[in-house]
């Protein structure tokens, strides 16, 4: 228990992440049970098949990115003396380990101290509140796959719900229609942000960059940290 009866810092982020996962699962259950089920019977079985192909990898990569180690660097002992380490230079730019005063250790290039987790993460990209975890070298591919599959699944769910509402427009308002509307509203709300996020992730991977780091390309020339953009997709 924390001092003064205050809740620990991890409680609220954990609740937010749990809410996001629960919302995804519950809305998906409504989608597969009512509009998708109706379309499977009256239109085609392709609707639930394609939706399942997109939903299951999205959920799997969400869980993997949430629980995988993003690349947390081990802490050093307090009072540890800073060692003298040779610094690399490329075109008057300085590259080398950076000393973290909170973790008492040297951080390799592309690493950063996450204030939310209070740890240094190798290949730090950003802290994701959907996952309650950092996105770093260890889970960046899982996060990108999660975004890609979720974007496709969200677009399909929105299109399916609209198709169901149009095809069943002659029927009276029922529980099935109400559930379809409940799924349609958040699907429409998140579609554009998800498309923007997926586009941003694709651009970052293509140029071997991270969200929270300086550009590694300058004046069209590669630096020591920005070679072989395909490495960002290759297994670690």
Q: What are the structure tokens assigned to 214, written together?
A: 């300086």
Taking the C-alpha atoms of residue 31 and residue 35, their distance in angstroms, rounded to an integer, is 6
| Helix H or strand E encompassing 182 | helix 175-206
Q: What are the structure tokens assigned to 111, written together?
A: 């690493």
∠ CA 131-136-141, nearest 5°, is 80
> Cβ distance 35 to 177 under 8 Å?
no
Q: What are the structure tokens assigned to 113, written together?
A: 């101290």
Taking the C-alpha atoms of residue 51 and residue 153, their distance in angstroms, rounded to an integer, is 6
> Phi and psi dihedrals of 234, rounded to 5?
-75, 150
Task: Give the active site residues.
Answer: 128
> Cβ distance 123 to 136 under 8 Å?
yes
């Amino acid at each position: 228990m924390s001092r003064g009866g205050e809740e620990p810092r991890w409680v609220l982020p954990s609740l937010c992440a749990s809410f996001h996962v629960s919302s995804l699962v519950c809305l998906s259950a409504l989608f597969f049970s009512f509009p998708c089920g109706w379309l499977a019977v009256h239109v085609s079985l392709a609707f639930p098949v394609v939706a399942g192909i997109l939903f299951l990898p999205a959920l799997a990569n969400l869980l993997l990115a949430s629980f995988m180690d993003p690349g947390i660097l081990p802490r050093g002992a307090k009072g540890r003396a800073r060692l003298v380490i040779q610094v690399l230079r490329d075109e008057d730019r300085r590259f080398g380990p950076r000393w973290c005063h909170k973790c008492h250790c040297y951080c390799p290039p592309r690493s950063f101290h996450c204030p939310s987790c209070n740890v240094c993460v190798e290949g730090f990209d950003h802290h994701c509140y959907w996952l309650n975890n950092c996105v770093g070298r260890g889970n960046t591919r899982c996060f990108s796959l999660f975004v890609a599959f979720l974007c496709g699944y969200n677009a399909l769910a929105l299109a399916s719900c609209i198709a169901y509402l149009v095809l069943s427009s002659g029927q009276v308002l029922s529980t099935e229609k109400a559930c379809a509307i409940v799924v349609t509203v958040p699907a429409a709300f998140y579609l554009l942000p998800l498309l923007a996020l997926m586009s941003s992730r694709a651009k970052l991977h293509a140029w071997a960059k991270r969200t929270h780091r300086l550009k590694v390309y300058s004046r069209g020339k590669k630096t020591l940290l920005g070679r072989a953009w395909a490495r960002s997709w290759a297994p670690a």
